[in-house]
Structure 1
């Protein structure tokens, strides 16, 4: 009888674990990152990794991979998204209205967006398994596609910045500076800047730091 009782208890624990794993999968699909999903279901990040990858546990038992997770970058929650992009609140409203049967044009009118924006959102960020639209997952995917600003080439503290600043003080034109860089540093790709890049560093880059120096 005790053995039967222990078996029942073990079965319940196993069912609870399976439910937590299923919830973990659902949270990832909704857009939470790995840490957030693990904390939400009450497991460690290591356990979540085991569930994702099917790694062998320390007790020798193999765990099958459960999660078809996407490779997008996780969005930083502190990042301010420009207004031209859809916000997470707008995506939640898109999901709610879409599930209620509202057309893309109807959703667009509610949001004050173009119909093409809503149609593209529903098409590009649909879940590959069932075609459903999950707003948090869509927000993460959109963030992963969003172009990141490139690091400025002519920036303070670099040899290139010092060379360009010195050339401008000598009243060399950006074209002259660019040509001299090629002649004086023929094998150093880090000491390269076309005249358009130099013009941008002087007139376009924020705060005009190079222009103030010269």
Structure 2
């Protein structure tokens, strides 16, 4: 969870100062800040559970690509504004469903983080839903760009609902939900939004995998980490 929000938060922050209009610049910057704030909560908990003295900063800035377990969707380039919004919408739709389930976690800290994060993510989803509909059912140009974004990003959806051995262990302990159980609600929301946006869901069931398990990442993650981690790599333990 922390790797998802860390990587996506950094990606979204790349729009700061260059968004199409001032309102979107502020909205995207605030979204990035929310995601980074959630990252701190998740990675501090991960460090505590790990028990090796690593905090959120150490986990964010001192790990290499193969140690990250984010889904591949969040690594994908911003592209144009439409692609950024489509990527955010797809993630938000999954994120809200997963956080909602996590509020009932048997792990009290996981449940507390999920409850706090859910308030922010609910707003994120409302905003991206409205924007996807507005752009999809907007001009000929905006519609074309949103359909292109959906076509490009759709193959990355499946990984968010893929179940592995880690999921099985958490399910057995009541810590987290079965991710496959969340797909139906996600698909229902996606169909509803795409219909209003006059966008067509791509055919096919192929799904890119590997990021969540840490087995395979796209080339983009290495570039993200090179930019995000350079200060701590160049000046270890630097403080303001």
Q: TM-score, normalised by structure 1?
A: 0.23
Higher helix share: 2
Q: TM-score, normalised by structure 2?
A: 0.21
Considering Cα pairs closer than 8 Å and 6+ residues apart, tell me whether 1 or 2 has the greater RCO.
Answer: 2
Larger Rg computed on CA atoms:
1
